[in-house]
């Protein structure tokens, strides 16, 4: 919650916590951050709200979201509680085997919770979509055409991946790639970028928060594992 007026630290000065392409995060007041930029999306807002409502996964408390246009591009601005701790990526090597095992079990417990979140009826006909029903911005699935076509089946999703592969890689293995793409009969709610840098832990290795939900939505049931495995390479 925002600090009570009597508790405000008069010596506190806003500080930059992170600056990446499309996203800047500043601590405005003790414990309160602003996240803004063209990488701050309505889909992330929807994801934070649905996870807060449907699961007990630790996510930043969102106090407000605004959107505005700059040079034809929509930018978002979130006001959120600061998630204390350090990234799992920065602390992993300092933990013992038993702590690492516990962390992994906690992460997959979080994934299991997310997978039980059903899509709203308004876009339950979609096999893959964002938390707000929008087309995915994942680099593997972003449509080459505008407006993007909906992904209503696993076959359409596989075709989308193949189309992007041919477009950007020139078809090095045009006849073999489809045979290697996994198949799925289930679509589940997925963070979409569950990397160690997006997992915050405390000093004992307890998971303090899961950050950066801009890619979250409903994906094939293998998606989270594949994306997490790729992040570790």
Q: Are residues 139 and 27 both part of a single domain?
A: no
State the pLDDT confidence band at 170, using cuts at 50, 70 and 90: confident
Range with lowest mean pLDDT among 6-10, 149-153, 177-181, 190-194 = 6-10
- From 29, 53, 81, give the residue that closes a domain: 81
pTM of the predicted protein model:
0.90
Residue 22 scores a pLDDT above 60: yes
pLDDT for 174 equals 60
Residue 225: predicted pLDDT: 86
In this structure, the strands spanning 187-190 and 217-220 are: antiparallel
Give percent of the chain above pLDDT 90: 83
Element housing 114 (H / E): helix 97-115
What CATH number is attached to the domain comprising 176? Answer: 3.90.1200.10
Q: Find the mean pLDDT for residues 134-161.
A: 95
Instruction: Based on the fold, state whether residues 50 and 149 are members of the same structural domain.
Output: no
Among residues 29, 46, 81, the one where a domain terminates is: 81
Residues 46 and 143 in one domain: no
Q: For residues 187 and 207, state if they share a domain.
A: yes
Q: What is the pLDDT of residue 1?
A: 45
Q: Which of 49, 81, 113 is the last residue of a domain?
A: 81
> Domain residues for 65?
5-81
Q: Are residues 154 and 131 in the same domain?
A: yes
Query: To the nearest 5 percent, what fractions of the chain are helix, strand and coil?
Result: 35, 25, 40
Q: Give pLDDT tens digits for 44-83.
A: 999 999 999 999 999 999 999 999 999 999 999 999 999 9
Range 199-206 average pLDDT: 95
Do 187 and 221 belong to one domain?
yes
Please give the backbone phi and psi of residue 200, each rounded to the nearest 5 degrees, phi first: -100, 135
- Residue 114 shares a structural domain with residue 155: yes
């Amino acid at each position: 919650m925002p600090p009570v007026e009597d508790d405000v630290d008069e010596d506190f000065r806003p500080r930059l916590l992170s600056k990446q392409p499309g996203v800047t995060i500043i601590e405005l007041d003790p414990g309160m951050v602003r996240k803004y930029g063209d990488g701050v999306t309505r889909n992330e807002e929807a994801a934070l709200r649905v996870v807060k409502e449907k699961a007990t996964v630790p996510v930043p408390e969102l106090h407000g979201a605004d959107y505005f246009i700059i040079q034809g591009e929509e930018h978002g601005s979130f006001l959120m509680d600061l998630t204390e701790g350090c990234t799992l990526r920065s602390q992993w090597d300092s933990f013992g085997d038993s702590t690492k095992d516990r962390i992994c079990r906690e992460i997959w417990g979080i994934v299991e919770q997310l997978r039980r979140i059903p899509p709203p009826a308004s876009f339950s006909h979609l096999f893959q979509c964002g938390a707000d029903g929008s087309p995915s911005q994942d680099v593997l699935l972003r449509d080459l055409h505008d407006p993007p076509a909906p992904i209503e089946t696993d076959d359409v999703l596989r075709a989308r991946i193949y189309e992007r592969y041919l477009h950007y890689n020139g078809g090095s293995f045009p006849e073999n790639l489809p045979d290697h793409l996994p198949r799925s009969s289930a679509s589940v709610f997925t963070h979409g970028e569950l990397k160690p840098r997006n997992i915050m832990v405390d000093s004992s290795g307890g998971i303090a928060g899961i950050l950066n939900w801009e890619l979250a939505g409903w994906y094939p049931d293998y998606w989270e594992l594949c994306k997490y495995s790729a992040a570790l390479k």
